[in-house]
Structure 1
Amino acid sequence: MTKTAIHIDHIARIEGHGNVHVVIEDGVVQTVEMNVVEPARLFESMVLGRRFEEIPYIASRICGICSASHVVTDLKAIERIFGIRTTDRTKALRELLVYGSYLQNHASHLFVFATPDFVGTKSVFLLAETNPELLQKALGLKALGNELCTKVGGRSIHPITAVVGGFTHEISAEEYRELADKLEASVEFAVETVDLFRSFPVPDIATEGDMLAMVEEGCYPVQGSDTARFLKAGIEFCADEVQERVEEYAVPHSAALCARVRETGAPYFVGALARINASWSHLSRNAKVAAAKAGLRPPEPNPFMNNVAQAIELVDALERCAELCRRLAEPDGFDGESKPVSFEARAGRAVGFTEAPRGAVFHDLELDERGRVVHASMITPTAQNVANLEADMRLLAERLVADGSGQDEVRRSIEKLVRAYDPCLSCSVH
């Protein structure tokens, strides 16, 4: 019997720490494990007994990239419990805040983490030597995301201006127009990014799992809806039903909590690829053209195409944010003010739901009559993705072994797949 063990003892260029363990016996893949070795984060315990005002600021520390999404997710849950109706202007500002984190994350992931896989370098530092102009444009896009988050949220990470019922501060009309100009000027590079990533060859595999994304009639939603859909199973549900629809479970080889569709038992994928599969027809004009040119149309089951999907979302986010900024600069651009509305704390339970850069986020909060947390459950994108990633790693390994690929090729390809998922392994543990 011939037995081969492939160990990747630290996957580079991702957020957090994880290992991969693959065992092949007589040409048959026996074991494929994603070992997340992060310690428990305990954020759900941290918020117990805290008043509602503190929850968004604590939860934002779950992730330095998705912090805006965690804040907005908590605000949505709290406002639903209190019966608060926010204004259109507040909703527009929250959209800008979430999209700012898309620019931050996608630019960093694509050019710092993923690109070295396809250009023959081991790190972005070598890319800086071989193509400094490309890297500078990419970092400029990341900086623009930082600026957008700072202008809207008060700082580039862990926003402070977004509060229950509205915002504590807004920038001037002139600053909105300046932001719009910068966003529009970056669209051309984002379109080039789509072309670049579509030109990279990737293995032709199709995930066997499902996909989950926020959906809303006539929209490409990232925070404005409370409806989620499992695309393959065709199951649509309100965020308040997430515990009945999503089953979280533990496995002995990993510290991460895994997730599957409760009705079907299938693992599933969240993120840019899931969103584009769900709402392709509602992309902005240039994003839709770029997607069609890149050949990314629903249904697209190849998880490696998540890189291309993120590049398409860069185009989409830039165009949407520029339009939002120009409307916010006008006195009658949106109904209502962004100042926090009045409300009274009361007991209740609700689930907040947003689309973070890496995928769907659910915060299930229960408050007592004083507005203090008595129960919390926070489901992050990577926690939902780990089981599907592991299944796709097995699928890829089996395909490569059947084609006669050697250990080095199996190892490199699995690492590429992990990075294509854009995981945050630190966020995958509760």
Structure 2
Amino acid sequence: MNIEIKHLARMEGHANLVVDTLNGELKECRLEIVESPRFFEVMLKGRHYSDVAPIAARICGVCSVSHTLASLAATENALGVKVSAQAQGLRRLLSYGENLQSHLLHLYFMAVPDYLGVPSLLPLAKTRRDLVARALRLKKVANDLVRIVGGRPVHPVTPRVGGFSALPAAQDLKELRRRLVAALADLEETVAMFASFAVPEMARDTEYLSLAADQGYPGLGERMVSSDGIDAPVADFADILTEYFKPYANAKFARASRDTLMVGPLARFRNASDKLSPMAKKVAAVLRLDAATTNPYHGNLARLTEVVHFFEEAIHLIDTLLLKGIRAESIWVPPGGGRGAGAVEAPRGTLFHAYTYDADGRISAANCIIPTAQNLGNIEADLRALVPQLLHLPQEEITLQLEMLIRAYDPCISCSTHLVKVEYV
């Protein structure tokens, strides 16, 4: 049997899947990353610190907030910039908004069609208008959260080194809070829908890595942990994560303690489910999601659990910000250079940026490790483990389950492609 899927659908970027079996044995399984290489680390060299975060945001149109926040953290750690509690709170709120944007986009537009047997969400606009309308309402709230805090819904313009260039109005935050509360009914319907889906069965243990839950559920932080015992400062990430190449992929792969690792919603849930909000814990129980799960298909259930968590936490964080009052703050950036690293839990997992600045405040070296790069090896290992279990099924069903497995990771292929391949002849 030969399965070759050109340009996997309903995921960001371009990838092919090739599976070959002979006499019931798996001979080949390749996840070919065919996205054109992008050289964003080189693009940052020579840039002044004030320009770096806006450029880094353009690495991705889905995770632009995460790249902005990781970039700002790396710059601030390199230059010794202190950030106020208010600015940290607004950054957390901005991160919640992006995770909601991405998670809801994936759950409704990428995952739901698999469970309802349609090629995309578009046919459901006629047969399930209620479902599509619910998806759009939830996505609109998430977009507006990012817009109110970040200045616009994609590629935020208000976060800057040391804080924010503009602050959200109190009235806008109050209205946003009202809409978040009103959206809880749509979330309840979403949970009920996913609880009714038949999730494929699979089990394969791996290493689960995330930021530490020092300040609640992983989001922003200075320490990284894994299920295999890693507990280290974010500044040491380059010593812990090993990047490597495969000849058929225009992307870097990464590993830590084992040959493969997982980052993202399921890894965060595995490492810190006890830090979820009260509503999110109840949702995990409804979805029958256990912290000991090793089923990668459960990534979507963890993703939905996080959606509820981010809604609830955003409501409480807005209350805190309004109670304290949003006040303009002065920002001071010390002169000189230095080296620093920053990390944030992007929708797809732990994102790392590290910069070295010269005395003029310009980047002399940059390094980024992307969540999907960390997940690619694990996706391939999952596929290799799954294929032999599916060989008794029709080829169409095998293809569907393999695609569903890949999509459960919600890979962001464009972010992961920053590989230069040079051949000497």
TM superposition score category, shorter chain reference: over 0.9
Which sections of structure 1, spanning at least 5 residues, go unmatched? none
* Cα distance in 2 for residues equivalent to 1:238 and 1:38: 32
1:253 counterpart = 2:248? yes
**Which of 312, 319, 330 in structure 1 is aligned with 2:312?**
319
* Cα distance in 1 for residues equivalent to 2:207 and 2:258: 10
- Any conservation in 2 of the 1:191–1:290 contact (CA below 8 Å)? no
**Which of 363, 374, 388 in structure 2 is aligned with 1:384?**
374
Tell which deviates more after alignment, 191-200 or 141-150: 191-200
Deviations 1:1-54 (A, max 9, x none): xxx211001211111111000000110011110001011110001000111111
Name the structure 1 match of 2:231: 236
* Distance apart, 1:272 and its partner CA: 0.9
* Distance apart, 1:280 and its partner CA: 0.7
* Distance apart, 1:187 and its partner CA: 2.0
* Cα distance in 1 for residues equivalent to 2:289 and 2:409: 16
* Distance apart, 1:407 and its partner CA: 1.8
* Distance apart, 1:156 and its partner CA: 0.6
* Distance apart, 1:127 and its partner CA: 1.8
Deviations 1:226-254 (A, max 9, x none): 111121x1211111111110000000111
Matches within 5 A, 1:253-272: 253-261=248-256, 264-272=257-265
- Equivalent position SS for 1:375: strand
Deviations 1:146-180 (A, max 9, x none): 11111101111111110011111112222111111
Name the structure 1 match of 2:49: 52
- Any conservation in 1 of the 2:96–2:314 contact (CA below 8 Å)? yes
- Any conservation in 2 of the 1:212–1:268 contact (CA below 8 Å)? yes
> Which amino acid in the other structure matches residue 331 of structure 2?
V
* Distance apart, 1:340 and its partner CA: 4.6
Q: Which of structure 1's runs of 4+ aligned residues deviate more than 4 A?
A: none
- Any conservation in 2 of the 1:79–1:85 contact (CA below 8 Å)? yes
- Any conservation in 2 of the 1:208–1:392 contact (CA below 8 Å)? no
Matches within 5 A, 1:84-233: 84-217=81-214, 219-223=216-220, 225-231=221-227, 233=228
Tell which deviates more after alignment, 195-204 or 282-291: 195-204
* Cα distance in 2 for residues equivalent to 1:16 and 1:340: 40
Deviations 1:116-142 (A, max 9, x none): 000011111112222111111111111
Name the structure 1 match of 2:301: 308
* Cα distance in 1 for residues equivalent to 2:349 and 2:278: 22
**C-alpha spacing 1:248/1:276, structure 2 compared with 1 (3 Å):** same
* Distance apart, 1:85 and its partner CA: 1.8
**Which of 413, 423, 430 in structure 1 is aligned with 2:401?**
413
1:281 counterpart = 2:269? no
1:423 counterpart = 2:411? yes
1:19 counterpart = 2:16? yes
- Any conservation in 1 of the 2:252–2:417 contact (CA below 8 Å)? yes
**C-alpha spacing 1:188/1:279, structure 2 compared with 1 (3 Å):** farther
- Equivalent position SS for 1:352: strand
* Cα distance in 2 for residues equivalent to 1:133 and 1:126: 13
* Distance apart, 1:282 and its partner CA: 1.1
* Cα distance in 2 for residues equivalent to 1:77 and 1:372: 13
TM value normalised by structure 1: 0.94
* Distance apart, 1:338 and its partner CA: 5.4
* Cα distance in 2 for residues equivalent to 1:112 and 1:344: 45
Tell which deviates more after alignment, 407-416 or 207-216: 207-216
* Distance apart, 1:218 and its partner CA: 5.3
Name the structure 2 match of 1:364: 354
- Any conservation in 2 of the 1:107–1:139 contact (CA below 8 Å)? no
**C-alpha spacing 1:321/1:24, structure 2 compared with 1 (3 Å):** same
Aligned length: 418
Name the structure 1 match of 2:421: none
* Cα distance in 1 for residues equivalent to 2:176 and 2:140: 12
**C-alpha spacing 1:338/1:383, structure 2 compared with 1 (3 Å):** farther
> Which amino acid in the other structure matches residue 389 of structure 1?
I
> Which amino acid in the other structure matches residue 134 of structure 2?
K
* Cα distance in 1 for residues equivalent to 2:162 and 2:278: 32
* Cα distance in 2 for residues equivalent to 1:292 and 1:85: 40
* Distance apart, 1:203 and its partner CA: 2.2
* Distance apart, 1:216 and its partner CA: 2.5
- Any conservation in 1 of the 2:195–2:286 contact (CA below 8 Å)? no
> Which amino acid in the other structure matches residue 239 of structure 1?
V
